[in-house]
Structure formats: structure tokens, C-alpha cells
């Protein structure tokens, strides 16, 4: 094992498509980075999640030049994991991770907390992730935390992210074609996206499996572009999603009691890459209606930065260490 510096924080950001890991020294130096496959236990099972975490840890120690890693590897492990939605999830994951003995102490968070911490300039704030799905979490200035189940319609999420918006785009195109809905640009743009003649052909492709259902998420961007181009049907659906983003953020702000503060709200996930100015404006307007001084920030750094910062927070690292870490990880 290298003599200096020694790792003090192992940080992991585990999602439905990938798992990122970094090993960090007390002064914020990044000793190693790695990326492996998914570790969302809801998708790959508990054993599969632990295998992915173990693979990420093996790779990050190798990247750090630690040929024979001792376990526990370092003082603090921060595990920011997709699928850690309810207390019952933590009841399954926490003892399983502890049994592996990877780190001296294990801090488990939903991965949305990593997004929040990566984008804030202080140790507290709100994070909203809107990609395929949607979730929100926040930390208050007193250390209080809030989170949501984020189990789509089952937990009252009326517009649960880009997957919902993509399916909606196909639905609007189909309704325009069969007379149930108004004319829409989506009648042409949805089939064009898949190289099909009309929306019925897309429906047939999804139904028969020639077009994977998961690809409907791609239509979220198609719908938002149509909304930006003045399509009324697309705008109505985009507004529903914008209102849901703001509802999550507003509820977290209210529950934390920070409506009068300059609370930072970090927006992460592919939906926020849209060029649709109306979507961005509506999100900001609705959040500012709850917290007029709120500062909205678009996340550009990788969420694993937030997981690592949570680890440095836990060990009481100074601002210089955090800035060094942020500089090392902010570009990808």
C-alpha cells in the first residue's frame, strides 16, 4: 500500500446503468477512480448490487496503486445508491454492506443526495434528478434530511420523469391520428425519430418488440423540442413535468423549513439538458413561488463528486480539501 497519502474516503455513486467509485485522501487528493456496471438492487438484485460495488472497489484500489488492499480500506465509505428509496431498502443493504467490511463506517444515501451535494456550494441544499425517472432529496442547514419514495405512480408521482414524458409523446401522436386529440407536431416527429411512417407503426414496433420499450425515453427530448417550437399539446405535457419537478423541490424546501433562505436547488439528469426555455422558466417560476430566494443550479459535475464531498464532510475536512476534490472531479 502506498505510504502517502492514505485513503480516508471511499465514495460510490451507484445507479441503474453504471457505478462510479473514487478513493480520496484527507487533503482532497483523488487517489483512484473506477466505473463498472449497475448496482441498483431493484434491478439487479441484492447479490448483483453487492457484486457491482465489490467490482468498483477492486478497480478503484487498483487504480490507486494499492496492490494488496487491507480491509477496512479506509475510515469512511459513502454509498449513494439508486434504489435506496425506503427504510426497508436500507434494512437490506446496510447489513449486507457492513458484512463485506469494505470501510470502517458506512454512510448510505439515496443517489439523489450525491446530486445535491455535488452541485451545492455549501453542505446543504436540495437535489432533483429528472432523467428516465425522477427523485428529490435534501439536507437542511441543521443536518435534517428529506427524501421521497420515488416509486412512480405507486408513490403518487404523477409525472415520474422522462420515461413518462416519452410515452406521453407517443400517446399524443396516436391520439392526433385517431381523432381523440388535437393536431400536433408529434404526429410527424415521433415516427421520424424511429424511421417509421406514422405513429401506428411505432406502436406496433413497441408492442411486437422490434422497438424496445426503453427507447420511448428518447421521445422525451422530441416532445420538449416540439413544445419549444410552439406545439400546444406538447407544451401542456411539458408543463405537467415541470410542475412535478417544482412540486418535489417545493415540498423538500417546505419540509426543511428553508423557504425564506437562499436555498440551492440542484437540477440533475438528462431532461434538464433540453433547449425548451419554457420548461426551464416554468420550473424556476414554480420553485420561486415557494422560495423566492432559491438559487437554481444545473449539475455539470459527476454525482460521485457529491458522494465524496459527503465523505469529506463526515471527517471534518477543511474547505481546501473540498476545493481540491471538486477541481479534480468537476470535468467528468
pLDDT tens per residue across span 206-235? 999 999 999 999 999 999 999 999 999 999
DSSP-assigned beta bridge partners for residue 265: 126, 296
pLDDT, average across residues 152-160: 88
pLDDT band at 267 (very low <50, low <70, confident <90, very high): very high
Is residue 188 pLDDT above 80, yes or no?
A: yes
Distance (Å, whole) CA 128 – CA 72: 32
pLDDT, average across residues 61-70: 91
pLDDT, average across residues 38-44: 92
To the nearest whole percent, how much of the chain has pLDDT over 70? 98
pLDDT band at 68 (very low <50, low <70, confident <90, very high): confident
**124-299 to CATH, choices 3.40.50.300, 3.30.420.40, 3.40.50.10420, 3.30.420.10:** 3.30.420.40
Q: Confirm if 58 and 71 have CB atoms less than 8 A apart.
A: no
pLDDT band at 152 (very low <50, low <70, confident <90, very high): confident
Phi, psi of 20, deg, nearest 5: -105, 145
In the chain, where does DSSP find H-type helix? 41-63, 87-100, 111-119, 162-178, 186-194, 199-208, 219-228, 232-256, 277-290, 303-314, 319-329
pLDDT band at 155 (very low <50, low <70, confident <90, very high): confident
Distance (Å, whole) CA 145 – CA 139: 4
Short-list 164, 155, 81, CA closest to 115: 81
Cβ neighbors of 289 (< 8 A, separation 6 or more) are 246, 250
Phi, psi of 184, deg, nearest 5: -155, 150
Q: Over the range 288-327, which residues count as b (16 or more CB within 10 Å of their CB) and which as e?
A: eebbeebebbebebbbbbbbbbbbbbbeebeeebbebbbe
DSSP 104: S
pLDDT, average across residues 301-327: 96
Q: Confirm if 64 and 32 have CB atoms less than 8 A apart.
A: yes
Is residue 5 pLDDT above 70, yes or no?
A: yes
Is residue 3 pLDDT above 70, yes or no?
A: no
Q: Confirm if 234 and 184 have CB atoms less than 8 A apart.
A: yes
Q: Confirm if 7 and 70 have CB atoms less than 8 A apart.
A: no
Distance (Å, whole) CA 65 – CA 68: 9
Is residue 245 pLDDT above 80, yes or no?
A: yes
Q: Confirm if 14 and 39 have CB atoms less than 8 A apart.
A: yes
Termini Cα distance of the chain: 27
pLDDT band at 2 (very low <50, low <70, confident <90, very high): very low
Per CATH, the homologous superfamily of domain 7-103+301-329 is ATPase, nucleotide binding domain (3.30.420.40)
**Do 124-299 and 7-103+301-329 have the same topology in CATH?**
yes
pLDDT, average across residues 21-45: 95
Is residue 323 pLDDT above 70, yes or no?
A: yes
Is residue 205 pLDDT above 80, yes or no?
A: yes
Domain locations in the chain as residue ranges: 7-103+301-329, 124-299
pLDDT, average across residues 83-108: 95
Alpha-carbon radius of gyration of the chain: 21
Q: Confirm if 114 and 47 have CB atoms less than 8 A apart.
A: no
To 10 degrees, the CA torsion angle through 37, 110, 160, 270?
-50
Distance (Å, whole) CA 306 – CA 322: 10
* Average pLDDT over the chain, rounded to an integer: 94
Largest CA distance in the chain: 72
Phi, psi of 77, deg, nearest 5: -115, 130
Q: Confirm if 161 and 271 have CB atoms less than 8 A apart.
A: yes
Is residue 1 pLDDT above 60, yes or no?
A: no
Q: Confirm if 262 and 294 have CB atoms less than 8 A apart.
A: yes
Amino acid at each position: 500500500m502506498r505510504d502517502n497519502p492514505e485513503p480516508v474516503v471511499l465514495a460510490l455513486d451507484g445507479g441503474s446503468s453504471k457505478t462510479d467509485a473514487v478513493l480520496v485522501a484527507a487533503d482532497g487528493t483523488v487517489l483512484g477512480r473506477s466505473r463498472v456496471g449497475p448496482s441498483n438492487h431493484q434491478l439487479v438484485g441484492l447479490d448483483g448490487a453487492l457484486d457491482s460495488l465489490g467490482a468498483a472497489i477492486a478497480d478503484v484500489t487498483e487504480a490507486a496503486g494499492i496492490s494488496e488492499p487491507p480491509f477496512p480500506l479506509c475510515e469512511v465509505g459513502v454509498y449513494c445508491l439508486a434504489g435506496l428509496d425506503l427504510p426497508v431498502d436500507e434494512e437490506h443493504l446496510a447489513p449486507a454492506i457492513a458484512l463485506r467490511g469494505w470501510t470502517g463506517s458506512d454512510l448510505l444515501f439515496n443517489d439523489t443526495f450525491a446530486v445535491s451535494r455535488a452541485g451545492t456550494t455549501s453542505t446543504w441544499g436540495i437535489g432533483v434528478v429528472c432523467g428516465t425517472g425522477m427523485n428529490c432529496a435534501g439536507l437542511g442547514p441543521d443536518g435534517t434530511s428529506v427524501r421521497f419514495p420515488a416509486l412512480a405512480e405507486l408513490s403518487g408521482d404523477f409525472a415520474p420523469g422522462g420515461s413518462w414524458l416519452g410515452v406521453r409523446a407517443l400517446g399524443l401522436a396516436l391520439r392526433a391520428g385517431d381523432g381523440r386529440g388535437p393536431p400536433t407536431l408529434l404526429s410527424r416527429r415521433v415516427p421520424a425519430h424511429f424511421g417509421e411512417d406514422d405513429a401506428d407503426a411505432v406502436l406496433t414496433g413497441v408492442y411486437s418488440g422490434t422497438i424496445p420499450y426503453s427507447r420511448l425515453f428518447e421521445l422525451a427530448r422530441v416532445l420538449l423540442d416540439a413544445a419549444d417550437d410552439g406545439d400546444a399539446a406538447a407544451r401542456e405535457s411539458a408543463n405537467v413535468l415541470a410542475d412535478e419537478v417544482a412540486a418535489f423541490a417545493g415540498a423538500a424546501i417546505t419540509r426543511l423549513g428553508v423557504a425564506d433562505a437562499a436555498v440551492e436547488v440542484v437540477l440533475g439528469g438528462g431532461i434538464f439538458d433540453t433547449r425548451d426555455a419554457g420548461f426551464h422558466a416554468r420550473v424556476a417560476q414554480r420553485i420561486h413561488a415557494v422560495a423566492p430566494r432559491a438559487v437554481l443550479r444545473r449539475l455539470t459535475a459527476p454525482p460521485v463528486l457529491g458522494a465524496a464531498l459527503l465523505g469529506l464532510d463526515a471527517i471534518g475536512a477543511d474547505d481546501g480539501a473540498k476545493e481540491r476534490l471538486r477541481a479534480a472531479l468537476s470535468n467528468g
